[in-house]
Amino acid sequence: MDNRFDVELASVTKRYGATLAVDAISLRIPRGTYCCLLGPSGCGKTTTLRMIAGHEAVTDGDILIHGENVSDLPPIKRGTAMMFQSYALFPHMSCLDNVAFSLKMRGVAKKERHARAREYLGLVHMADYADRLPAQLSGGQQQRIALARALINRPRVLLLDEPLSALDPFLRVKVREELKRLQRELGITFIHVTHSQDEAMALADLMVVMEDGHIRQSAPPRDVFERPVSPFIARFIGSHNVLTAAHGQIAVRADRCRLGAAGDGPHVNGQVIAVEYQGAMVRVAVKTEAGDEVSALVPDQMFYRKPAEPGDLATLVWSEQDTHALMDA
Amino acid sequence: MSTTGLISDLPIGLKKTGSITPKRRSTRLPPWMVSWFQVGPLALILTVLFALPTTLFLIVSFYDYDRVGIYPAFMLDNYRELLTTPATWRVYASSLRFAFIVWAITLFLGFNIAYFLIFHIRSGVMRTVLFLLCAIPFWTSGIIRTIAWIPFLGRNGAFNQMLMGLGVTSHPLDFLLFSDFAVIITYVHLFTLLMVGPIANSLSKIDPALMEAARDAGASRWRTMTDIVIPLSKTGITLGSILVFTQVMGDYFVVRQMSGGQSASIVSMLSTEIQAMQYPPASANAMVLVIFVAILVGVMMKVVDVRKELVK
Amino acid sequence: MSERISDKRPWTFYALATLFGAYLLFLYGPMFVIYVLSFQGPNGGVTFPMVGTSVVWFQEVFQPGQMANIPVSFQRSLSLAAVVSVLTVVISVAAGLGFRRRFPGSGALFYLAVASLVMPSLLVGFGIGLGFQFLGWQPSLFTSALGAQLTWTLPFGLFAMFAVVNRFNRSWEEAATDLGASAWQRLRYVTIPILLPGIIGVAMGAFTLSYDEYARTTLTIGPKNTLPLEIYALISSATSPTLFAIGTLTTGVSFGAILVSLLLVLRMQRRRGRLDHDRLSVTQA
């Protein structure tokens, strides 16, 4: 048994009737990794997560956890635990009973399971809420209970289905930090589905970008950001310009572009169509002579020394070393 | 973890699709079978206690009979007699007439009340309370509610006394009781809730944002009603209509009590035959009513796909 | 011409409110007449005026008289209604859960239920009574009458369950599975408890439908009457304020039963809040 990886997907396919939701994807997630599945809606990331969890049957291929083939096992036997997008806390049970639920299903005596549950409530800083009902908690609090409930079984892999989507921006950042800290402390693998590239980049050790049921790129966030493999990824990850050059398509980071004069280096001419103040940076959107839309992310001080306005002619310049060749989509 | 038989004994790594994966062994029941277990008792009871009896009177309607008993046969005489007697047509016409009038009144009342409850009452608690107020009388037996109208509408009844007391009339109004008016009033009293319920249900599913969008685009309150609210409540209206129509057509008691013998109902005709043990013609009568109701309901359900709305 | 936007109610509110008020009067008017007349004096008749007041007619109700035996038929009604209620709950809850998926035959079964609901009651009773006769069986309370009433309460129960089950979030069941619940455990600890308010509603609805049921029962019950049938016999034979006393009493019973179940349900709902699958927005963690 190969135990180098926590989770392995071997050519996993999911078909719904005639629709192919996930097309023969393969992935290996090393032990104790924070892995994010990222992609636009309909790309198959949630389906993949649910197949790993065991809530969705695999049409073809195998799923291995800690080297064991779990493809036919029910969720509880896989060593996974899932945190649902809606939290799915049982509305008729107290927080304590919610967390202790899986122990109850296994027949653990009341005293013992309540004690264990209190431990885990303490872990998520919700010990005082043990007797409250879910309806009496805020969204962030409910999420912590859901987390405790999932962790009490000491899973090897924690699966999170868009856990931050319903939170407001401030809370999102705060909870994000907590999730990362928790993963480090527990040392287990987290697989986190999201459609937000900011979130994925902030959290992931391994970022898996999916499109149309395929894995397009699977690498640490820095690799994906600096060396996107295809135009789709460059565009999806944001802050990249995709241009057609002599030998194919290239990507350049928007923050490595400047407005300047055309010199020997790579450049493109066009007209400013929008100027967007973003605080530390200013985004200048330019429509090139060829009709492409590109943008430059300029530090604010630099921009305001020589501000540009929509309608101005402009040239976008960057250096050769920042050009990155893309494989065709 | 025991996974004997399922562990693939091949090198871990990328596998080609379909080449080595072990046979899927699922011990779970196929979903459709689970569903059949769950709906089984319902299906059984409805078939045995409803579908079969209906087939029974289909069969018996072709039987022969005389004063002594009934004899298995296949004759159309019962139907012929039934459909050629003017009394039959008169009764059907009368029932239909009542049904239409009652339908129109309950639709008007039901829709307005449902609209009021859903769109004008802001507090959820108030809405529940008011809805309950409408529903409580429904929990008293229909028989009691029907005869309740007798002391109310009679010559010496409360209503007449009130009218005279207020000086609106000088002598008691006769037509109030034992007349078509009484029958219709009673039906409306009994069946309006059947309209309010389904329509309120449909209305509550309308996103309030739709009405605001209509307002935004310049629609008057009236136009919003006709172009948005009413079309979106089609299901509720259809359901309510089906219920009201079938209740009126299938009524036995109200007409007998409240019309003072001036009208008969289809079902009371039937019950006379049943009491005389003339099962074949009673069955034929029943069959005709069944077909009639089935056509009515079928037409109404063409208008709206009730199943999709209800089961979702 | 600009209309000032205000929080005041539009004129349609007052119009509809008036209509609603009139409707309530219409609904309750005759009922109050009955309630009042049940306190009719001993020499009074079935219409106004009131000749003194008394509870003599209530007392009449409880004496088994030559024409009608109220207490016994009341008991029969109650026991039948209890059985119908339990059966309806079990069968329609199961069926409601089954209908969550599309399965072969689901369309036919759905329309069968609609047909059973819509079919004139007396016909159903007739069909069953006929069937029993042909088979040589005696119609009785807990066989034919029960069956006939079920054809009425089951479709109602089923449609009520549709509404309840639609609001049920399947994530709860998935979470239960994820945490190791077997199918039975899931049903017992998660599905049923969450559906409980709806189930109580169905139980109470079925109870009342059965308790007040007349047309389906009359041809399928044989010689012993339930309360509505007994009332009908009384009407045909003679009208006296006893009838009204019965009416007041039965309304009281229905009312009591519904009130109890309502309070139960409200208490449950309040504790559980309205947890739908769209999450609460957060201002504090």
Q: A49-105: per-residue pLDDT in tens?
A: 999 999 999 999 999 999 899 998 888 889 999 999 888 999 889 999 999 999 998
Mean pLDDT of A127-145: 91
Pick the residue with more confidence: C245 or A219? A219
- Chain C residue whose CA is closest to B36: C98
Mean pLDDT of C241-263: 80
User: How far is the C-alpha of B10 from the C-alpha of C110, rounded, in Å?
Assistant: 50
Query: Each residue of B276-296: pLDDT tens digit?
Result: 878 888 888 888 888 888 888
- Residue C202 clears pLDDT 80, i.e. is over it: yes
Contacts by C165-171 with C-beta closer than 8 Å and gap 24+?
A: C165/C96, C165/C97, C165/C99, C165/C100, C165/C195, C165/C198, C166/B312, C167/C276, C168/C194, C168/C195, C169/A86, C169/A88, C169/C276, C169/C277, C171/A84, C171/A85, C171/A86, C171/A88, C171/C277
Mean pLDDT of B163-183: 76
The band of C279, judged by pLDDT with boundaries at 50, 70 and 90, is: very low
Nearest to A163 by CA among A36, A22, A32, A33: A36
Residues 6 or more apart whose Cβ sits within 8 Å of residue B113: B134, B192, B196, C16, C19, C20, C23
Interface residue of B32, B36, B47, B49 to substitute, partner C, most C CBs within 10 Å: B49
The band of B15, judged by pLDDT with boundaries at 50, 70 and 90, is: very low
Helix (H) or strand (E) holding A12, with range, is strand A5-16
Instruction: Answer yes or no: are the C-beta atoms of C36 and C223 closer than 8 Å.
Output: no
Mean pLDDT of C241-258: 80
- Packing angle between helix A139-151 and helix A110-123, nearest 10 degrees? 130
The band of C277, judged by pLDDT with boundaries at 50, 70 and 90, is: very low
Does A88 lie at the interface with B, CB-CB under 8 angstroms? no
Neighbours of chain A (3+ CB pairs under 8 A): B, C
The whole-number pLDDT of residue A311 equals 92
What token pair was written down for B10? 């091949």
Does C109 lie at the interface with B, CB-CB under 8 angstroms? yes
User: How far is the C-alpha of A322 from the C-alpha of A252, rounded, in Å?
Assistant: 6
In a domain, C199, yes or no: yes
- Residue A151 clears pLDDT 80, i.e. is over it: yes
User: How far is the C-alpha of A16 from the C-alpha of A18, rounded, in Å?
Assistant: 6
Mean pLDDT of A292-315: 92
Mean pLDDT of B59-85: 79
Single-letter residue type at A35: C
Instruction: Answer yes or no: are the C-beta atoms of B198 and B236 closer than 8 Å.
Output: yes
The whole-number pLDDT of residue A2 equals 58
Nearest to B250 by CA among B83, B96, B47: B96
Single-letter residue type at B312: K
Q: What is the CA radius of gyration of chain C?
A: 24
Residue range(s) defining the domain that contains residue C218 = 48-271
What token pair was written down for A177? 């930090």
**Regarding beta strands A293-299 and A313-317, do their DSSP bridges make them parallel or antiparallel, or are they unpaired?**
unpaired
User: How far is the C-alpha of B263 from the C-alpha of B95, rounded, in Å?
Assistant: 9
- Chain B residue whose CA is closest to A77: B1
Interface residue of B57, B143, B189 to substitute, partner C, most C CBs within 10 Å: B143
| C-beta neighbour count of A225 within 10 angstroms | 19
Please work out, in degrees rounded to the nearest 5, the angle formed at the alpha carbon of residue C27 by the alpha carbons of C21 and C33. 115
In a domain, C20, yes or no: no
User: How far is the C-alpha of A98 from the C-alpha of A136, rounded, in Å?
Assistant: 14
Contact between C178 and A135 using a beta-carbon 8 Å cutoff: no
**CATH placement of domain A241-325:** 2.40.50.100
Contact between B252 and C122 using a beta-carbon 8 Å cutoff: yes
Out of A135-139, C63-67, C110-114, C149-153, pick the least confident: C63-67
Query: Which residues of chain B does A26 touch, with a Cβ-Cβ cutoff of 8 Å?
Result: 14-15
User: How far is the C-alpha of A328 from the C-alpha of A230, rounded, in Å?
Assistant: 6
What token pair was written down for A91? 């509305």
Out of A94-98, B73-77, C155-159, pick the least confident: B73-77
- Residue B18 clears pLDDT 70, i.e. is over it: no
State the nearest Cα–Cα gap between B19 and chain C, in angstroms: 30
Nearest to A5 by CA among A29, A21, A32: A29
Residues 6 or more apart whose Cβ sits within 8 Å of residue C156: C88, C117, C202, C205, C206, C209
Query: Which residues of chain C does B290 touch, with a Cβ-Cβ cutoff of 8 Å?
Result: 119, 123
Does A73 lie at the interface with C, CB-CB under 8 angstroms? no
User: How far is the C-alpha of A65 from the C-alpha of A61, rounded, in Å?
Assistant: 14
Mean pLDDT of C252-273: 79
Q: How far is CA A53 from the centre of its chain?
A: 17
Selecting from C171, C181, C194 the residue whose C-beta is nearest the C-beta of A84 gives C171
Half-sphere exposure of B12 (CA within 13 A, CB side): 19
In a domain, C171, yes or no: yes
What's the Cα-to-Cα distance from A4 to each of A1, A28, A69, rounded to whole Å?
Answer: 9, 9, 15
Single-letter residue type at C181: A
Selecting from C169, C172, C180 the residue whose C-beta is nearest the C-beta of A102 gives C180
Contacts by C17-20 with C-beta closer than 8 Å and gap 24+?
A: C17/B116, C17/B120, C19/B109, C19/B112, C19/B113, C19/B116, C20/B112, C20/B113, C20/B116, C20/B117, C20/B130
**Regarding beta strands B70-71 and B64-65, do their DSSP bridges make them parallel or antiparallel, or are they unpaired?**
antiparallel
Contact between A61 and B15 using a beta-carbon 8 Å cutoff: yes
Query: Which residues of chain C does B158 touch, with a Cβ-Cβ cutoff of 8 Å?
Result: 29, 33, 48
ipTM of the complex: 0.80
Query: Which residues of chain A does B30 touch, with a Cβ-Cβ cutoff of 8 Å?
Result: none
The band of A162, judged by pLDDT with boundaries at 50, 70 and 90, is: very high
**Regarding beta strands A248-253 and A19-30, do their DSSP bridges make them parallel or antiparallel, or are they unpaired?**
unpaired
Place of tokens 């996930």: A22
Instruction: Answer yes or no: are the C-beta atoms of C88 and C154 closer than 8 Å.
Output: yes
Residues 6 or more apart whose Cβ sits within 8 Å of residue C134: B56
The whole-number pLDDT of residue B16 equals 37
The whole-number pLDDT of residue C4 equals 59
- Residue B13 clears pLDDT 50, i.e. is over it: no
Nearest to C106 by CA among B47, A269, B36, B98: B36
- Chain A residue whose CA is closest to B28: A74
Does A6 lie at the interface with B, CB-CB under 8 angstroms? no
| C-beta neighbour count of A224 within 10 angstroms | 26
Query: Which residues of chain A does C284 touch, with a Cβ-Cβ cutoff of 8 Å?
Result: 138, 140
Interface residue of B54, B55, B56, B141 to substitute, partner C, most C CBs within 10 Å: B141
State the nearest Cα–Cα gap between A101 and chain C, in angstroms: 7
Those residues of chain C whose CB sits closer than 8 Å to some CB in chain A are 169, 171-172, 174-182, 185, 189-190, 193-194, 196, 268, 271-275, 277-285
Starting at the edge strand that comes first in sequence, how are the strands of the sheet with A258-259 ordered? A258-259, A313-317, A267-277, A281-288, A293-299
- Start and end residues for every CATH 3.40.50.300 domain found in chain A: 5-226
- Residue B106 clears pLDDT 90, i.e. is over it: yes
The band of B12, judged by pLDDT with boundaries at 50, 70 and 90, is: very low
- Chain C residue whose CA is closest to A78: C178
For the stretch B166-192, what's the b/e string if a residue is b when 16 or more beta carbons lie within 10 angstroms of its beta carbon?
eeeeeebbeebbbbbebbbbbbbbbbb
- Residue C261 clears pLDDT 90, i.e. is over it: no
The band of B73, judged by pLDDT with boundaries at 50, 70 and 90, is: confident
Query: Each residue of C86-131: pLDDT tens digit?
Result: 999 999 999 998 888 888 888 888 888 888 888 888 888 888 888 8
- Residue C2 clears pLDDT 50, i.e. is over it: no
- Residue A165 clears pLDDT 80, i.e. is over it: yes
Out of A144-148, A258-262, C51-55, C165-169, pick the least confident: C51-55
Nearest to A155 by CA among A118, A122, A195, A182: A182
The band of A39, judged by pLDDT with boundaries at 50, 70 and 90, is: very high
What's the Cα-to-Cα distance from A171 to each of A97, A150, A165, A177, rounded to whole Å?
Answer: 26, 21, 10, 10
Mean pLDDT of B153-179: 73
What's the Cα-to-Cα distance from C148 to each of A24, B273, C128, C217, C219, rounded to whole Å?
Answer: 56, 20, 7, 7, 9
Beta bridge partners of A113: none
User: How far is the C-alpha of C130 from the C-alpha of C148, rounded, in Å?
Assistant: 12
Neighbours of chain B (3+ CB pairs under 8 A): A, C
For the stretch A118-141, what's the b/e string if a residue is b when 16 or more beta carbons lie within 10 angstroms of its beta carbon?
bebbebbebeebbeebbbebbbbb
The whole-number pLDDT of residue A220 equals 96
Mean pLDDT of A154-182: 92
Instruction: Answer yes or no: are the C-beta atoms of A213 and A20 closer than 8 Å.
Output: yes
| pTM to 2 decimal places | 0.78
The whole-number pLDDT of residue B168 equals 74
The band of B173, judged by pLDDT with boundaries at 50, 70 and 90, is: confident
Looking at every residue in chain B, the average pLDDT score rounds to 79
Query: Which residues of chain B does C128 touch, with a Cβ-Cβ cutoff of 8 Å?
Result: 49, 53
Q: Is the peptide bond before C49 cis (omega within 30 degrees of 0)?
A: yes
**Regarding beta strands A34-38 and A206-211, do their DSSP bridges make them parallel or antiparallel, or are they unpaired?**
parallel
Contact between C178 and A53 using a beta-carbon 8 Å cutoff: yes
Does C197 lie at the interface with B, CB-CB under 8 angstroms? no
- CATH T-level assignment (fold) for domain B86-311: MetI-like fold (1.10.3720)
Q: What is residue C280's DSSP assignment? A: P
Q: What is the domain-level CATH number for residue C170?
A: 1.10.3720.10
Single-letter residue type at B308: K
State the nearest Cα–Cα gap between C44 and chain B, in angstroms: 13
Contact between A68 and B21 using a beta-carbon 8 Å cutoff: no
Interface residue of C269, C282, C283 to substitute, partner A, most A CBs within 10 Å: C282
Single-letter residue type at B148: A
Interface residue of A55, A76, A101, A158 to substitute, partner C, most C CBs within 10 Å: A101
Query: Which residues of chain B does C33 touch, with a Cβ-Cβ cutoff of 8 Å?
Result: 148, 151-152, 157-158
Pick the residue with more confidence: A236 or C32? A236
- Quote the number of domains for chain C: 1
Query: In the A/C pair of chains, how many CB contacts fall below 8 A?
Result: 111
**CATH placement of domain A5-226:** 3.40.50.300
- Chain C residue whose CA is closest to B113: C20
What's the Cα-to-Cα distance from C259 to each of A201, B130, C28, C218, rounded to whole Å?
Answer: 57, 15, 18, 28
Helix (H) or strand (E) holding B33, with range, is helix B31-46
User: How far is the C-alpha of A51 from the C-alpha of A57, rounded, in Å?
Assistant: 6
Does B276 lie at the interface with A, CB-CB under 8 angstroms? no
Instruction: Answer yes or no: are the C-beta atoms of B83 and B284 closer than 8 Å.
Output: no
- Residue A36 clears pLDDT 90, i.e. is over it: yes
The whole-number pLDDT of residue B8 equals 34
Selecting from A84, A140, A168 the residue whose C-beta is nearest the C-beta of C175 gives A84
Mean pLDDT of B188-205: 89
User: How far is the C-alpha of C62 from the C-alpha of C69, rounded, in Å?
Assistant: 8
Looking at every residue in chain C, the average pLDDT score rounds to 80
- Residue B306 clears pLDDT 80, i.e. is over it: no
Contact between B134 and C23 using a beta-carbon 8 Å cutoff: yes
In a domain, C173, yes or no: yes
